[in-house]
Amino acid sequence: MKPIENGGPWLGPLGRDADVVVASRVRLARNLAGFPFTNRASTTQRRDVVSMVRDRAQGAAWGRMLGWIDLQACPAEQRTQMVERHLVSKQFAASDAPRAVGISADETLSVMVNEEDHLRIQAMYSGLRIDECFAAATAFDRGAESALDFAWHHRWGYLTACPTNVGCGIRVSVMLHLPALRLTSELDRVRRAAKDLHLALRGFHGEGSEPMGDFYQLSNQITLGMRDEEVVGELRDRIIPQVIRYERLARETYRSKAPAAARDRFIRAAALLTHSRLMPLDEAMKLLGRLRLGIASGLTEAIDSTLVHRLLLQVQPAHLALARPSDPMETLEQQSAARATLLRDALAPLRASIG
Amino acid sequence: MKCDQCDKPAVVHETVITAGVQTTVHLCAEHAAAQMHHVPASAPIAELLAAHLTGQRHQPACGGCGMTLAEFRKHNLAGCSACFDALSPVIDQAIQRAQGGATAHCGRAPARRDDAEARQAYRARLLNDLEQAVAAERYEVAAQVRNALREVDGIAGQQA
């Protein structure tokens, strides 16, 4: 895998609405006809699925851009890095069955083979770029279906192991930074509204993860009875703009009600990040979130959000080890020390600016 | 004999035991299907109905992968494509529950489908979608459906 400076789909240009939106992702779930789904497939069948998908992709224009990684032969640290970069799911990295992932050079496209479904095609871009994600995932999907038979049912559409993905198999998710909605206790209202609209609001790493640093993934839950274009359009045109508006409004309210507190929160976060000698992961995420809000609110020009995004990734354990290869990392304390050093170094311009 | 619920001839006659009480039901194809939510054409309707009404006298296993209803209920995961017919209607309900009540796919189908029967079913559904979209004056959707229909019929090129 490439060093983080060169890759990582959400380290690209910030784009519009970057004050709230971090990254966009579209995922398509597909299964091969004629094989049991991953949960019922034998080791041999799983191996066959991997080689079939990989071989057909490697020999064709639609799939040649993927470089393949056999997860069984992949060191644990690299698997964790892929999870931290959102290229593969946690469960996928942890399983010990035959499985593989194909990743494009710029890491915007990744295809997990033998996750819950045989294929999980995922496209990810920084900023609010759902359309580009959809186009990239769909291009691969259409190419793949010219060479592979996908499981299909005349009533249920594309078949998936879990009933939640049946139909068009699409999940659109947008990673949002919503600190002000949480500060003004409006997040529960958003969560309820999301539920009513059949959307899920999840933590930083998606399904089953805790919110860290006020980062949330908002995604569709319905994949049946709606065209994939409709799912994309609804999130892009209706839902995401509304959440962005709410968050901006909450930021305005917070700033106008308590301008000194808003500034103090930012300065404290900056001070801790630029002076601490030990920095646990959850605290780093929380403080980086506050830094990001400060940048979006114009409280500093010493650094920009791209740096914060890179640090959000680099403070994760496997990337930390990659960024500081000579630091000892055996204990949590050693990790915290390495993380603190990394943050102090990277945020030196900020330290100078806050005096 | 007429259907218990309408005047059509009953085609399903079944003695069922619910909570220890024995009753006989007579249903037309439509009402039988309605109670089942979805009856695959190939499935023996009486057997499915009995299983449904008496609370699993049978535990149908999927012929494709051996999945039982109990296993499906436990993990909420289908084991293979055949499960979607073999575990009906339980799986139908699970899907509809997960999907906010949606009852069928609409939209794209794999380009490589050469299964004529499935294509016809898809075409019929698109026609139905088109009718509904026009009735609801959702012309944008109607246009999309029309495009999908053209794709199915392979006449998109000729009309363009």
Burial class (CB in 10 A: 0-12, 13-18, 19+), A204: buried
A94 touches chain B (CB under 8 A): no
- Nearest residue to A178 via CA among A22, A301, A24, A312: A22
- The pLDDT score that the predictor gives to residue A159 is 97
List the structure tokens of B100.
């906010």
- The pLDDT score that the predictor gives to residue B58 is 52
For residue A66, count other CB atoms closer than 10 A to its CB: 21
- Which residue of A lies nearest to B140 if distances are taken between CA atoms? A230
Inter-chain touch B95–A36, beta carbons under 8 Å: no
- The pLDDT score that the predictor gives to residue B139 is 85
B147 touches chain A (CB under 8 A): no
Inter-chain touch B106–A225, beta carbons under 8 Å: yes
- The pLDDT score that the predictor gives to residue B7 is 76
Q: Which residues 7-46 of chain B have a CB within 8 Å of chain A?
A: 38
Helices (H) and strands (E) in chain A, counts: 14, 10
- The pLDDT score that the predictor gives to residue B102 is 87
pTM of the complete model: 0.79
Closest by Cβ to B103, choosing from A39, A163, A225: A225
| Sites in chain B below the pLDDT cut of 50 | 37-42, 57, 155-160
B110 touches chain A (CB under 8 A): yes
Q: How far is CA A353 from CA A146, A285, A311, B10, in A?
A: 56, 21, 19, 83
pLDDT in tens, A9-67: 777 778 789 999 999 999 999 999 999 999 999 999 999 999 999 999 998 999 999 99
Burial class (CB in 10 A: 0-12, 13-18, 19+), A136: buried
- Nearest residue to A68 via CA among A86, A50, A83: A50
Mutation site for B-interface testing, chosen from A114, A154, A226 by largest number of B Cβ within 10 Å:
A154
Chain B neighbors of A222, CB-CB under 8 A:
99-100, 102
List the structure tokens of B159.
């009309």
**Amino acid identity of A260?**
A
User: Residue A119, SS3?
Assistant: strand
Q: How far is CA A303 from CA A21, A261, A293, B3, in A?
A: 18, 21, 12, 75
Chain B neighbors of A145, CB-CB under 8 A:
110-112
pLDDT in tens, A132-190: 999 999 999 999 998 999 999 988 999 999 999 999 999 999 999 999 999 888 998 99
- DSSP letter, residue A103: E
The mean pLDDT of A338-355, rounded to a whole number, is 93
- Which residue of B lies nearest to A226 if distances are taken between CA atoms? B106
Mutation site for A-interface testing, chosen from B99, B113, B126 by largest number of A Cβ within 10 Å:
B99
Inter-chain touch A142–B77, beta carbons under 8 Å: no
Mutation site for A-interface testing, chosen from B81, B87, B91 by largest number of A Cβ within 10 Å:
B81
List the domain boundaries for chain B. 12-56, 61-98, 111-159
For residue B74, count other CB atoms closer than 10 A to its CB: 9
* Torsion, Cα of B78, A219, A284, A104 (10° steps): 70
- Which residue of B lies nearest to A220 if distances are taken between CA atoms? B99
Contact A273, A265 (CB under 8 A): no
- Nearest residue to A351 via CA among A238, A287, A273: A273
Inter-chain touch B65–A40, beta carbons under 8 Å: yes
Size of interface A-B (CB pairs under 8 A): 124
Give the ipTM: 0.87
Residues B22 and B41: their CA atoms lie apart, in Å, by 27
pLDDT in tens, A65-89: 999 999 999 999 899 999 999 999 9
Residues 6 or more apart in contact with residue B48 via CB below 8 angstroms:
B36, B39, B88, B89
- The pLDDT score that the predictor gives to residue A2 is 53
Closest by Cβ to A161, choosing from B77, B111, B125: B77
Residues A74 and A92: their CA atoms lie apart, in Å, by 12
Q: Which of A3-17, A23-37, A223-237, A335-349 has the least mean pLDDT?
A: A3-17
Q: Which residues 44-73 of chain B have a CB within 8 Å of chain A?
A: 64-67
How many angstroms from the chain centroid is the CA of residue B146?
23
Q: Which residues 98-157 of chain A have a CB within 8 Å of chain B?
A: 116, 142, 145-146, 149-157
| pLDDT band at A228; cut points 50, 70, 90 | very high
Residues 6 or more apart in contact with residue A319 via CB below 8 angstroms:
A4, A81, A84, A313
Contact A154, B122 (CB under 8 A): yes
B81 touches chain A (CB under 8 A): yes
B84 touches chain A (CB under 8 A): yes
